[in-house]
Amino acid sequence: MTFDSFPRGAASPSRRRFVTGLAAGGVAAGTGLWHLPGSASTGLATSPQTLARSYFDLAIDAAPVNFTGRTRPAVTVNGSLPAPVLRWREGDTITLRVANRLPVQSSVHWHGILLPANMDGVPGLSFDGIGPGETFTYRFDIRQSGTYWYHSHSLFQEQAGLYGAIVIDPHEPAPFAFDREHVVLLSDWTDLDPASLFRRMKKVAEHDNFYKRTVGDFFDDVAREGLSSTLHDRGQWGRMRMTPTDISDINAHTYTYLINGQAPAGNWTGLFRSGEKVLLRFINGSAMTYFDVRIPGLKMRVVAADGQYIHPVTVDEFRIAVAETFDVIVEPSGQDAYAIFAQDMGRTGYARGTLAVRNGLQAPLPAPDPRPILTMDDMGHGGMDHAAPGKVMEGGCGANMGHGGGMQSHPASETDNPLVDMQTMSPSPKLDDPGIGLRDNGRTVLTYAAMKSLFDDPDGREPSREIELHLTGHMEKFAWSFNGQKFMDAEPLRLNYGERMRIVLVNDTMMTHPIHLHGLWSDVEDEQGNFHLRKHTVDMPPGTKRGYRVRADALGRWAFHCHLLYHMEAGMMREVRVEERA
């Protein structure tokens, strides 16, 4: 699908318009003024509906949208962006006929769903993709319950709108009660052709970093920290050719943030009656954006993570990584409207919605939090001098200090690698760290340490072996990889069918990465190596080293990748093969 068929001469929207979006927003009716790809429908594209059955007909198509004052093409499912909410039941067999009406290949991946490898929806691994004009039938049994989502795994179609929510009703009653529920699907939208945006990142990776430190900041730091400390800090960042204000690759200077397909000015509204328990199913379906979510005036009781029940934990705020889902229960009473406020991690913009007793109400929005600044401790350097990969570190050794007093080694493939611009020196799990920009903010913030699965380790075996992978990158080149090796250059990771093994991830970059293993659960361990939290997407902030157990109980070829879309496309992906023992 090409995006070049839309005119590019329209004036750029104002900053205010860019941040808040149009009140109407959403998918617009096609008119003769706009030339969609030949196969695209030109009728009115409706808001997402909920489809609750075991047999589904889904049509992937294109339609014009207008979130910013400029009409642009989008990828839709059944004429809507986001795609319809699919409601399934645990124990059912689901059949989905997916028709591709685009002029290019498409696909649908069922994120976090346990299914046969040939139903996973990843072109080149699980099937050949859905060609133009073709229909592919997905069919699989539902062996889980909870909140999940689906999206394209073809080029940049996910960024262009092909994503939607999945709700699976449990066979047994949930361990919590609620009176009504709402899906809250967060996402990011760009008026740019996503392929052009990717090319821009490769050419000018710092395009959206408007907040580099100034001379005034230098003197402020000198007054607070002293000249020597300030010069030392500036020197470290300078040698890494990085900036501590580079929190996310793409932010609100390019993106408009959406809730259920509505820009902030569109004010998506979920209704409630005073005193009800309302279940909110939060899904981060964005391409590149981490959100920090709160509902001022309401506590949130988190009851599930990535579709799996946890011991309830009450918080004021949570950070939701790309591809994660959290179920929370709120009990609104005493006022008619509450704001759902979702800041991007870099504090450049937000998505917003409203919980209200009737449509048309709004609640005041809180002031954005201060923009965060990365430190050397955030980067896992523990106050030590930085050296380029493969060079001698402080202390006279090429390996880096790991947590617990040990030495953090690095794979040989990182040494003198032009695709690797830094290595962490003292990584640690940081499970109890709410994350940069959320520490000591006066609110109770969710952490991985605070979440504990409501069940014991479903496998029970200790891992029989361990694989360590390093998340690597080069900021200026916008190159991303595992162990300094891009997807096309790396051998598959081979797992023996039925084995219980451990994957250890070490983040050698200054970026936060959500890592998703298809087809298999990722059972995050606590700092003592015990089973802690079942996930399908494991968040990896800078300077972290986290281990999780995997039971290789699904034969076939599976994708394993960073769920930041442009990082995956740039190379941070591996193939995992689960094979019968020889």
pLDDT tens digits for the chain (582 residues)? 443 333 333 333 333 332 344 444 555 433 222 344 434 433 334 468 999 989 999 999 999 999 999 999 999 999 999 999 999 999 999 999 999 999 999 999 999 999 999 999 999 999 999 999 999 999 999 999 999 999 999 999 999 999 999 999 999 999 999 999 999 999 999 999 999 999 999 988 777 674 544 445 434 444 666 666 545 544 554 555 556 666 889 998 999 999 999 999 999 999 999 999 999 999 999 999 999 999 999 999 999 999 999 999 999 999 999 999 999 999 999 999 999 999 999 999 999 999 999 999 999 999 999 988 877 677 665 533 333 443 322 322 223 334 344 688 999 999 999 999 888 888 999 999 999 999 999 999 999 999 999 999 999 999 999 999 999 999 889 999 999 999 999 999 999 999 999 999 999 998 999 999 999 999 999 999 999 999 999 999 999 999 999 999 999 999 999 999 999 999 999 999 999 987
Helix (H) or strand (E) holding 234: helix 227-239
Residues making up the chain, counted from first to last = 582
Tokens 């964005």 — which residue? Answer: 286
Tokens 């909920």 — which residue? Answer: 50
pTM: 0.87
State how far the Cα of 52 lies from the Cα of 106, in Å rounded to an integer. Answer: 24
**Phi, psi (rounded to 5 degrees) for 135:** -125, 130
**Which 3 state secondary structure label does DSSP give 233?**
helix
Which domains can be identified in the chain, with CATH numbers?
A: 15-173 (2.60.40.420), 178-209+245-373 (2.60.40.420), 375-445+456-582 (2.60.40.420)
Q: Which of 530, 471, 474, 543 is nearest to 502 (CA)?
A: 530
Peptide bond into 37 cis (omega under 30): no
State how far the Cα of 354 lies from the Cα of 236, in Å rounded to an integer. Answer: 44
What contacts 8, CB < 8 A, 6 or more positions away? Answer: none
Under 8 Å between Cβ of 312 and 303: yes
Q: Which of 298, 260, 305 is nearest to 276 (CA)?
A: 298
Under 8 Å between Cβ of 184 and 300: no
pLDDT of res. 373:
82
To the nearest 10°, the Cα dihedral for 199, 203, 209, 212? 180
Assigned token pair, 293: 């979510």
DSSP state of 73: E
pLDDT of res. 89:
97
Tokens 């759902």 — which residue? Answer: 340
Q: What angle do CA 98, 104, 109 make, to 5 degrees?
A: 40
**Which 3 state secondary structure label does DSSP give 237?**
helix
**3-state class percentages of the chain: helix first, strand second, coil last, to nearest 5:** 10, 35, 55
Buried b (16+ CB within 10 A) or exposed e, 172-196: eeeeeebeebbbbbbbbbbbbbbbe
Q: Which of 77, 80, 82 is nearest to 106 (CA)?
A: 77
CA distance readout (Å), 349 to 346, 367, 369, 370: 8, 11, 10, 12
Tokens 């081979």 — which residue? Answer: 494
Buried b (16+ CB within 10 A) or exposed e, 103-120: eebbbbbbbbbbbebebb
CA distance readout (Å), 569 to 172, 194, 288, 480: 40, 11, 12, 9
Q: What angle do CA 57, 62, 64 make, to 5 degrees?
A: 130
Longest dimension (CA), the chain: 69
**Phi, psi (rounded to 5 degrees) for 545:** -135, 110
Under 8 Å between Cβ of 185 and 104: no
pLDDT of res. 246:
67
Q: Which of 544, 548, 528 is nearest to 536 (CA)?
A: 548
